[in-house]
């Protein structure tokens, strides 16, 4: 595979912050982090994370959450499991 070099102009501050975050995430270098990002983008496996303070649930999601809470309180929900084996056993018993 032939390799090419991609140059991305950025401020020193951005580069330094990105290096710290990529290191915290376990990447050996910012170049490795960028390669992973580009690989994910090329496979359409990349999702942008919306900052928590900007994220607002839709009316549909709020309605679904309210309905789920109501169903759980009424006993109309599946049990909660603390391990995979019990969960799979339950699903088998339900024919799922």
43-88 confidence digits (pLDDT tens):
877 666 655 566 677 889 889 889 888 888 888 887 878 888 888 8
Q: How confident is the model at residue 40 (pLDDT cuts 50, 70, 90)?
A: confident
pLDDT of 9 > 90? The answer is yes
* Residue 4, phi-psi category: left (phi > 0), alpha (psi -120 to 50), beta (remainder): beta
In the prediction, which pLDDT does 72 show? 80
pLDDT of 11 > 90? The answer is yes
The b-or-e profile of 73-87 (16+ CB within 10 A means b, else e) is: eeeeeeeeeeeeeee
In the prediction, which pLDDT does 17 show? 92
């Amino acid at each position: 595979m032939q390799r090419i070099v991609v140059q991305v102009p950025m401020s020193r501050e951005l580069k330094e912050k990105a290096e710290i975050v990529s290191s915290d995430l376990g990447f050996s270098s910012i170049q490795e982090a960028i390669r992973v990002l580009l690989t994910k983008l090329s496979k359409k496996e990349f999702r942008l994370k919306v900052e928590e303070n900007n994220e607002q649930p839709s009316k549909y999601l709020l309605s679904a959450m309210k309905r789920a809470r109501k169903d759980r309180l009424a006993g109309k929900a599946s049990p909660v499991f603390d391990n995979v084996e019990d969960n799979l056993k339950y699903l088998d018993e339900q024919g799922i």
